[in-house]
């Protein structure tokens, strides 16, 4: 779900002690990109910096000492877009050519909290959606799209169904 995604499979891995969280963490770092990635190149013209900053290093940090169940790990991987590593994601950052750091996210505190099992139970009356399109497109929008494609993909004008295109 977070837009900032970097593949760290080939990165340099090391276990470090996080000074703020006081726990062991996996730190994975990669040098910039071969195609010279710049900060500011994908921002609207109004917000672009006058001077482009080259990405020198990408950094990803996650826990090594926090046990995470497979269901929770799958959830975390989906939210943080990092399925290469197990553990709780703590930081995703880019070090820039001017020495500054651009952080997508950064964890400053962690705690161990016991959560009741029923916290993860679906609420009463909950209906599981068959797919993502059912969450993103209403039934009316879906019917309009089907009508539109029926008209659009008709073999010729003589065999077009008697349907009006959506407005």
Torsion of CA 78, 82, 86, 90, to 10 degrees: -100
Q: What is the three-class DSSP state of 50?
A: coil
Q: Quote the pLDDT of residue 164.
A: 61
Domain definitions of the chain by residue range: 12-110, 129-167
Q: What confidence tens digit (pLDDT) does each residue in 46-76 have?
A: 555 556 778 888 899 999 888 777 778 878 8
CA-atom Rg of the chain in angstroms = 23
Q: Using an 8 Å Cβ cutoff, are 100 and 49 in contact?
A: no
High-pLDDT (> 70) share of the chain, %: 76
pLDDT tens profile 17-37: 998 888 899 999 888 665 566
First to last CA, the chain: 32
Q: pTM for the complete prediction?
A: 0.57
Rounded mean pLDDT of 109-115?
A: 82
């Amino acid at each position: 779900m977070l837009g900032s995604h970097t593949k760290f499979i080939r990165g340099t891995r090391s276990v470090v002690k996080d000074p703020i969280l006081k726990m062991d963490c996996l730190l994975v770092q990669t040098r910039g990109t071969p195609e010279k990635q710049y900060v500011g190149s994908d921002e609207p013209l109004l917000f672009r910096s006058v001077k482009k900053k080259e990405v020198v290093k990408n950094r990803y940090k996650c826990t090594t000492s926090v046990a995470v169940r497979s269901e929770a790990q799958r959830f975390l991987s989906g939210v943080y877009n990092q399925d290469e590593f197990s553990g709780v994601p703590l930081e995703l950052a880019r070090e820039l050519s001017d020495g500054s750091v651009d952080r997508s996210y950064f964890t400053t505190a962690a705690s161990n909290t016991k959560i009741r099992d029923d916290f993860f139970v679906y609420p009463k009356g909950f209906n599981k959606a068959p797919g993502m399109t059912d969450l993103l497109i209403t039934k009316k929008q879906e019917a309009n799209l089907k009508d539109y494609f029926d008209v659009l993909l008709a073999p010729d004008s003589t065999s077009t169904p008697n349907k009006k295109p959506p407005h």
